[in-house]
Structure 1
């Protein structure tokens, strides 16, 4: 199971939000410094979200993303404002390993399925009260997250990253049932996100065949977990 530390970018800096509210952003520092630290701790991947890009619908933190790519040898998955093939190509040319398509996955799932035939694509499904949220979580659709996940069954999409927005940034624990439902509906390896707090959750996820990984954010930045020890134990 992959443990993937997160770098959320707002105005070029690493931040964490509470339940996706941009005005709740707490700044933690320079992104390339955290990327280096994660590599030293033993990470294999990092998860980057361009928060400004997610709201705007176009990339907004490209220079910082370049610096992160140049500062470490980790694999990088990146989301936020990726809505067309040109942007996918642009990021791949910078050395990004996998692109996360979120809002466009709801608006045009056929496009996402076609892109996954040519490029390394993940789908981000973020839900508030069970329904899909898009545009940086500013808007919530009437479509259920489970229904959206089922549209990608049988596709070439590498993984689905699902977030329960009501859990995100709270430290109240991952919504494991939600993650399992997404995985079962899509039959695609699914990465859990939103609310991770402790090693105990890793033990539960490790024994679950439906969950292939977890995104770790605030639990690291607030010092609730020892990430180095987690990598030694779970990614040796």
Structure 2
């Protein structure tokens, strides 16, 4: 069980959105690299980075900020947002990003996901962002008719490293993770699943440590870390006590 701190990039700054609305952005740090370094010093062992502008524009926009984060820490990074073709995937992986997350591309171009997962083993994750069970794409601006489970099953045998499952209705609202929906997805597929959207407090971490959620590979924390509702030391200590050293499972 890995706790991923989130760095969401908008216009080169570290922000958090409410339910994915770009006009509902709160700037938490104008220096994303410094934020990444702080997360490393707090004991986190992975970073979850999203190029929000890229997600809307369909191509990388916050590249300099991503590279600054990479240069500032030794942590492995999973990156999503605006990654829609093989060249972009290869570009980021060659720069040293450990894992790319494909969201819109997974719906629009599933063959790309399969090809990338084959060409870059253990380096491709699928982002499944769901609104009322239906998958949202294009920076959450559009909702498809595909269910989260249908999309996950599409890649069951593709060699995808992980699924990042986000409940959009909870994202940025500090209402708690939708662990039941995420656990149901994890039960239905063999791909490792990471919970995202709404992690609010140490209570969510305690729930993650319950036996029924041990199948999850991790969870992403954003706003709760930035506004002090979640103490990194306490969260990592709980996960370490339940799952071993900082929750690292060795699967990555």
TM-score by length of 1: 0.97
- In structure 2, what is the equivalent of residue 164 of structure 1? 167
Q: Secondary structure at the match of 2:169?
A: coil
Asked if the contact 1:173/1:201 (under 8 Å) is kept, the reply is yes
- In structure 2, what is the equivalent of residue 12 of structure 1? 12
Tell me how far apart the structure 1 counterparts of residues 202 and 158 of structure 2 sit (CA, whole Å). 32
Report the CA distance between 1:167 and its aligned residue.
Answer: 0.4
Tell me how far apart the structure 1 counterparts of residues 233 and 69 of structure 2 sit (CA, whole Å). 20
- In structure 2, what is the equivalent of residue 2 of structure 1? 2
Alignment partner of 1:67 is 2:37: no
Stretch of structure 1 that moved more, 49-58 or 174-183: 174-183
Tell me how far apart the structure 2 counterparts of residues 209 and 35 of structure 1 sit (CA, whole Å). 27
Query: Equivalent residues in 2 for 1:43-122 (5 A)?
Result: 43-119=44-120, 120-122=123-125
Q: Secondary structure at the match of 1:188?
A: coil
Asked if the contact 2:50/2:79 (under 8 Å) is kept, the reply is yes
Alignment partner of 1:189 is 2:189: no
Once superposed, what is the RMSD of the aligned Cα atoms?
Answer: 1.1
Q: Which runs of 5+ in 1 are unaligned?
A: none
118, 123, 142: which one aligns with 1:139: 142
- In structure 2, what is the equivalent of residue 228 of structure 1? 233
TM-score by length of 2: 0.91
Tell me how far apart the structure 2 counterparts of residues 192 and 139 of structure 1 sit (CA, whole Å). 21
Tell me how far apart the structure 1 counterparts of residues 105 and 143 of structure 2 sit (CA, whole Å). 13
- For 1:163-211, what per-residue CA distance to the aligned partner results, in whole angstroms no more than 9, with x for missing partners? 0000000100000111012212322110000000122222222222331
Q: Secondary structure at the match of 1:196?
A: coil
Tell me how far apart the structure 1 counterparts of residues 179 and 25 of structure 2 sit (CA, whole Å). 25
Asked if the contact 2:206/2:238 (under 8 Å) is kept, the reply is no
Asked if the contact 2:86/2:112 (under 8 Å) is kept, the reply is no
Asked if the contact 1:124/1:160 (under 8 Å) is kept, the reply is yes
Asked if the contact 2:205/2:238 (under 8 Å) is kept, the reply is no
Report the CA distance between 1:16 and its aligned residue.
Answer: 0.2
Tell me how far apart the structure 2 counterparts of residues 184 and 231 of structure 1 sit (CA, whole Å). 25
Asked if the contact 1:41/1:231 (under 8 Å) is kept, the reply is no
Count, aligned residues: 236
Q: Which runs of 5+ in 2 are unaligned?
A: 246-252
- In structure 1, what is the equivalent of residue 250 of structure 2? none
Q: Secondary structure at the match of 1:26?
A: strand
